[in-house]
A and B are shown apart, each in its own frame.
Chain A
Amino acid sequence: MIEAEHPAHLWRNPEPKRSYEVVIIGGGGHGLSTAYYLAAHHGITGIAVLEKGWLAGGNMARNTTIIRSNYLWDGSAGLYEHALQLWEGLSEELDYDILFSQRGVLNLAHSLQDVRDSVRRVEANRLNGVDAEWLEPEEVAEVCPIVNVSDAVRYPVLGATYQPRAGIAKHDHVAWAFARAADALGVDLIQNCEVTGLEVSGGQVTGVSTSLGLLAARRVAICAAGHSAVIAATAGLRLPVQTHPLQALVSELLEPVHPCVVMSNAVHVYVSQAHKGELVMGAGIDSYNSYVQRGSFHLIERQMAAALELFPIFARARVLRTWAGIVDVCPDASPVIGPTPIDGLYVNCGWGTGGFKATPAVGDVLAHTIAHGEPHPLAQPFGLERFESGALIDEHGAAAVAH
């Protein structure tokens, strides 16, 4: 019998120290990325990432890995395009192949209003330096031959926006790459360590209580996705987010059949084909608030109906696995990044249905925000204060997922 040796570990599993300079709550993509940029670009030492389960086992393991930057408003275009440019160099930056595949994304339009909104978004994207084109139905069929562009369906494809630089990446590799690089820079990645409360004294955060005891920290960043509000509430801080399940599913492994990413607001499904061969599909959130990583079956049924309307070729594919993640949704479908009324406490939440694509940009701008004590210019529009000033960033259209 041959005993295989365990491959080299990508990171240490240290015991937590009693005190840190920066504690990041949540060891998903955003938390790991933030830790990496803090250590690599701001020279900060004494950083811990606390993860209640295993690294990147929450929404990082549950998303549909779509990366694009074709959002409508200037603030969003700035942030998501920054992310896309970081993605383009990320394998080199982290010296680890994240399998970033820029296969392009089509956002289909099915009504006259869809067409008008889409063309407007293409023009807005171009003004912001984001690659975008408007495609007529026959051009859509050239990019993605398996999309049904016939006019004999209930919601015919009237065209699509196309962002060629968009694509997908391998989520596990992204997490491992950030974790390995952060660990090499001395960041403590602490798994199975659940934060049960924020410690605040005199309006200043002083640490976190966890399942492994009290950890002191001068600065704390919440990167806990669906549980952000629960953690913030332990310090009496209310966040403008509601937590919902978001479901996705994959088919069995198939030969390469789907060359790009296709999203449809109106028929409402988004589909790509993973490197391994599964068709990866998602749709909208379940309507009710929930922290259960499970959704209702009728959403899957609707999502399948939408997928078959757009891709008749999928009729005989079988669903292999369905699941849900817990996402925190903001009223304007844009995230919250920035300081809080509690000194030393930073929040990165409200990413709702679209946080994966922003992973490197979140790390970069949140690390800058933590290091300098004031928002990175690209994070500036996304502060909590927008809900009082009224300067919302309404991305319900470009978010492409019903909220």
Chain B
Amino acid sequence: MSSPILSLKNVTMRFGGVTALSDVTFDVKEKEILGLIGPNGAGKTTIFNVITGVYQITSGVIEFQGKSLKGIKRYKITRGGIARTFQNIRLWGDMTALENVMTATDTHKRSGLVGGLFGSPVSRREERRDKKRAQELLDFIGIGEYADRLAKNLPYGVQRRLEIARALGTEPKLILLDEPAAGFNPAEKVELAKVIRKIRDAGYTVLLIEHDMSLVMKVSDRVVVLDFGQKIADDVPIKVQDDPRVIEAYLGVPEDAS
């Protein structure tokens, strides 16, 4: 494995009196699939939110490709190469699948509103290029035939995958997947595992939050385990599975067992 693309150093996030993340430190290495697991409320989605700039961390440092993300606007973080999906699907329902992805590909357009209004050559060229690119991404994720359907009318599984395609549309270096398999049946999970590997093989780095242990263990190169906002394990899947602290975190409290 190569150098870290993203590193969290002693990251702490407090909401009033609640400490959601406490002193969390880990690296995401380039072109790996890093699984991020933990019981409910362990702080997994909070990690995504602090990385993408939704929350400003209380203390610590988050560095992406060696640069601190502190105080950078959310859309600029995305432009810089970090894209995410959402745990509860947040597509733009009244737009077609293709338009959803194209809105993301607009991120790197040089032409803006004025160019679009007067139909400048740059704008036309970029429009054509992005339409092609968006269709490619839909095909890549395996939902190409749904391109012209409104996002809100798509089947659940397709919506989940469209979220991934949309995130890829921003041409990220690192993609954060927040429970992409939630609500999937076993066959769909197998399919998704293939897609995630395919994404990595295409040169992206993946940070994956997932509740389904078998999926995480199968697909991840490395797994970080959180519990009550603290990192309790960080290792290859086999070792994590046997870690007594991980077992305790998952089995110690009955309602959190998975």
Same assembly = no
